[in-house]
Chains A and B, each alone.
Chain A
Amino acid sequence: MSERIVELEVLRFNPETDAEPRFQRYSVPCMNEWVVLDALNHVKEAIDPTLSYRWSCHMAVCGSCGMMINGEPKLACKAFLRAYDGVIRVEPLANFPIQRDLVTVIDDFITKLKRVKPYLVPKSDQPVEAGEFRQTPAELKRYKQYTLCINCMLCYAACPEYALVPKFIGPAAISLAHRYNEDSRDGGREERQQEIASGEGVWECSFVGACSEVCPEHVDPAGALQQVKIRSTVDWYQEHLMPWSKK
């Protein structure tokens, strides 16, 4: 086990005393196999207990330690120190307001997530005795990758359209809507379309593709959004040119 001194440059902000954020430098003795989150934990425990940041699982499942590391949205628990040379710059997730230090205000995302109904809306009410809603492996595979989303919001930090147009519902929420739309047991697509096919929905996406590049779970939100655009376009033509085909 070898050790090295890592220079961390962390964006600090205290809303009670600071007019704007500033960088603070820490020299942290780190083990080679540590991730950025380990270094932050060491700072908190041994150097500066006032440093605030979110984390929980330390294994890329909970999605709470998203932050900008050298300008790139990353999970701090998945960003290995050995991948970086020199000073490592750590900032709160881009495109979200800073609550304190590395902690951001995520209410906007939570509100949008609720709007798209990211849960199964059964086609019809069915008594429990009727049994499970069954699904073939092919039907499962159709949407499986989107279930891997951990709501870490790295895709929002990477999305320039979300930065420029804050009302945009954004990558994760729309791909989760798509996940349920693609589910053979679901009947809620029309309700979700009211949100994701609106002016604040998928049409604000210009397919930059950054969301998919930064996703730590290898979900492809950019793909989901293009599929939603195509499906919504087909819908539009059906509704306007063939009104009799209304389902």
Chain B
Amino acid sequence: MAKSNKPIVWGLFAAGGTVTAFITPVLVLLTLLPVVGVMPELLVYDNLHAFAGHWVGKLLLFGVIFLVLWHAAHRLRITLHDFGVRADSAVAVIVYLAAAAGTLAAAYFLLRI
């Protein structure tokens, strides 16, 4: 039998899963802090704009969004199959295209900052 090409999508899924495990909770925490009266300086417009304006910041933000989106897209594909949706090829095309579109959008917004 031929070897599968799944490693492409699985590799991104695993990398994204690791990234999101480390940072998604703290990113949510960051935007929740203002509710309890703590305003992280980074969330002030000028600071965040400067961060996303620097190429290091751009690269970080792009990498995170890219990997996390792929992680979510791939796991969603598996999850839909687990819920009984059998049109796996169609699901795969849709979720990966959505992740790719999100990734491109992230690049576009970042380049406009």
Touch between chains A and B, by CB atoms below 8 Å: yes
- Dominant secondary structure of chain A at its interface with chain B: helix
Q: List which A143-202 residues lie within 8 A (CB) of chain B.
A: 160, 164, 193-195, 197-201
Determine the chain B residues whose CB is within 8 A of the CB of A201 once the complex forms: 1, 4
- Quote the shortest CB–CB distance from B111 to chain A (angstroms): 27
Size category of the binding interface on chain A:
10 to 19
Complex interface: stretch among A50-58, A87-95, A98-106, A228-236: A228-236
CA of A236 to CA of B14, assembled, Å: 15
Q: Is B10 close to A, CB under 8 A? A: yes
A-B contact sample (8 more), CB < 8 A, given A199-B1, A232-B3, A233-B7 = A164-B82, A200-B1, A206-B78, A229-B10, A233-B11, A235-B7, A236-B7, A236-B11
Known contacts A206-B78, A206-B82; A198 and B10 CB within 8 A of each other:
no
Q: Is B8 close to A, CB under 8 A? A: yes
Q: Is B6 close to A, CB under 8 A? A: yes
What residue in chain B is nearest A234 (Cβ atoms)? B7
Size category of the binding interface on chain B:
10 to 19
Known contacts A206-B78, A229-B10; A236 and B5 CB within 8 A of each other:
yes
Q: Is A80 close to B, CB under 8 A? A: no
Determine the chain B residues whose CB is within 8 A of the CB of A198 once the complex forms: 1-4
Determine the chain A residues whose CB is within 8 A of the CB of B8 once the complex forms: 236
- Quote the shortest CB–CB distance from A234 to chain B (angstroms): 8
Query: Is B11's CB under 8 angstroms from A237's CB?
Result: yes
CA of A164 to CA of B78, assembled, Å: 12
What residue in chain A is nearest B84 (Cβ atoms)? A164
- Dominant secondary structure of chain B at its interface with chain A: helix
CA of A164 to CA of B84, assembled, Å: 9
List chain B positions with a Cβ less than 8 A from chain A: 1-8, 10-11, 14, 78, 81-82
What residue in chain B is nearest A194 (Cβ atoms)? B1
What residue in chain B is nearest A231 (Cβ atoms)? B7
Determine the chain A residues whose CB is within 8 A of the CB of B5 once the complex forms: 236
Determine the chain B residues whose CB is within 8 A of the CB of A232 once the complex forms: 3, 7
Query: Is A203's CB under 8 angstroms from B82's CB?
Result: no
Query: Is A233's CB under 8 angstroms from B10's CB?
Result: yes
Of A164, A203, A237, which contacts B4 at CB under 8 A? Answer: A203
CA of A230 to CA of B8, assembled, Å: 11
Query: Is B78's CB under 8 angstroms from A237's CB?
Result: no
CA of A193 to CA of B1, assembled, Å: 9
Determine the chain B residues whose CB is within 8 A of the CB of A194 once the complex forms: 1-3
- Quote the shortest CB–CB distance from A81 to chain B (angstroms): 35
Determine the chain A residues whose CB is within 8 A of the CB of B78 once the complex forms: 206
Determine the chain B residues whose CB is within 8 A of the CB of A164 once the complex forms: 81-82
CA of A199 to CA of B3, assembled, Å: 7
Q: Please name 19 pairs of A and B residues whose Cβ atoms are closer than 8 Å in the assembled complex, sorted by A.
A: A195-B1, A197-B3, A197-B4, A198-B1, A198-B2, A198-B4, A199-B1, A199-B6, A200-B1, A201-B4, A203-B4, A229-B7, A230-B14, A232-B7, A233-B14, A236-B3, A236-B7, A236-B8, A236-B11
